Structure 1
Amino acid sequence: MNNDTSALSPKEQQIAAISAHTARGDMPGLRNALTAGLDAGLTLNELKEVLVQMYAYCGFPRSLNALNELMVLAKDRASRGINDTVGAEAGAPPAGKSIDFGTANQTKLCGAPVKGDLFLFAPAIDEFLKAHLFGDIFGRDNMDWKTRELATIAALAAMTGTESQLNSHIRIGK
């Protein structure tokens, strides 16, 4: 990511746009942002990773639709002789249980263990957040946490009713 906090790089701008269009289900806007992202030098695997992560914030339907849009766009570009860079695949997950390294990731990102009445009321969501989101997704090594947070913030900002989560991720992103 760009160290200049006053502006996003062209790649970062497109990651934000792609995440926002995915969260809103805006397929024409998404196709334009995906095209601009590829033209800005994002790899197909970087874009896939952003879109896979989006399911945790805006659901499987929007994530799957966005991935399909990227697949169709990549095939279209290839048929026109545009050879987009595939990029790095994610490596093997960290050793151990997702819940363990997810809890460690969440604590590191948030600066302290995350607790609260909601997690006592519905302990399953606490486990899913720690094991799956912060373990299985944030544990993947083909996208850094700053970029993941940029995508998350853009998606949450594009949706209504997510102010609490948005404010939390803005704090994490800083």
Structure 2
Amino acid sequence: MKNWKYIPTFFVIILSATIMNAQIKKGLDSRQQSLVKISALTAIGNLEDLQLQLNEGLDNGLTINEIKEELVQLYAYCGFPRSLNAINAFKTVVEDRKAKGIADSEGEKIITENNPPDKYEQGRKVLEVLTNTPQIKPAPGFGEFAPRIDAFLKEHLFADIFASDVLTHQQRELITIAALSSMKGVEPQLKSHIAMGRNTGITDDQLIVLATVVETIINK
């Protein structure tokens, strides 16, 4: 590996603890690697390389709606500007491929409505599944200090966004870990999502591959 100066410290610790396994038992398939590459490039705002990876993702079998869901989810982690720029780039890619006669799969329909009796409770339960830990209301610390952000986290991210099953929880965590590992100053959130990812079945071997892919992307 070239250098890890752009990879958050915690991720380096994770790698140091697992890199002893010289043989990777189960890495990431081509679709998973495409999700990781698209996420990392969106997070750092590299639209030129992103367009190449969006094309590759479709070639690797990702559906249009899977990539749309990925880019929508990423606004919660890297902001509306990065997400909107990536969505516009993807729109151009899809239109160009269609003009060339390439028939990409639209994929499963994206759920756009989510009206449970208690949206906060819906998000709280999803977070409990991801963390395998009871979630009290409000969240300790930041949730007590700023209840509105706790509500947005539960009701919008883990309820509205996660209500669509176009992506699995494991895919969503791969996307989130890839984005956070590409950004500086988010080590606490990265640590939490690595734990959540493991709870969805992501292995240390897969985390090593993910880190290697991200390192290549951001140090290119």
TM-score category of the 2 structures, normalised to the smaller one = over 0.9
Listed as ranges, the matches of 1:8-27 within 5 Å are: 8-27=28-47
Taking CA–CA contacts closer than 8 Å with sequence separation of 6 or more, which of the two structures ends up with the larger relative contact order? Answer: 2
- How many Å separate the matches in 2 of 1:106 and 1:125? 15
Note if contact 1:102-1:139 (Cα within 8 Å) is conserved in structure 2.
no
**8 A contact 1:102–1:134 mirrored in 2:** yes
Q: How does 1:127-146 map to 2 (within 5 A)?
A: 127-146=151-170
Question: What's the counterpart of residue 84 of structure 2?
Answer: 64
**Pair member with larger Rg:** 2
Are 1:154 and 2:178 an aligned pair?
Answer: yes
Q: Determine whether 1:95 maps to 2:119.
A: no
- Pick the aligned partner of 2:75 from 23, 48, 55: 55
Contact 1:109-1:172 within 8 A present in 2 as well: yes
Report sequence identity in percent. Answer: 45
Partners of 1:5 and 1:110 in 2: CA distance: 25
Count of residue pairs the alignment pairs up: 171
- Structure 1 unaligned runs (5+)? none
Residue 188 of structure 2 aligns with which residue? 164
Is the deviation greater in 5-14 or in 142-151? 5-14
What is the CA–CA distance in structure 1 between the aligned matches of 2:60 and 2:38, rounded to whole Å? 13
Aligned residue type for 1:116 = P
- Cα pair distance change 1:85/1:40, threshold 3 Å: same
CA distance 1:63–1:140, shift in 2 (3 Å):
same
Structure 2: how far apart are the matches of 1:104 and 1:113? 9
Q: Distance in 2 between matches of 1:5 and 1:101?
A: 36
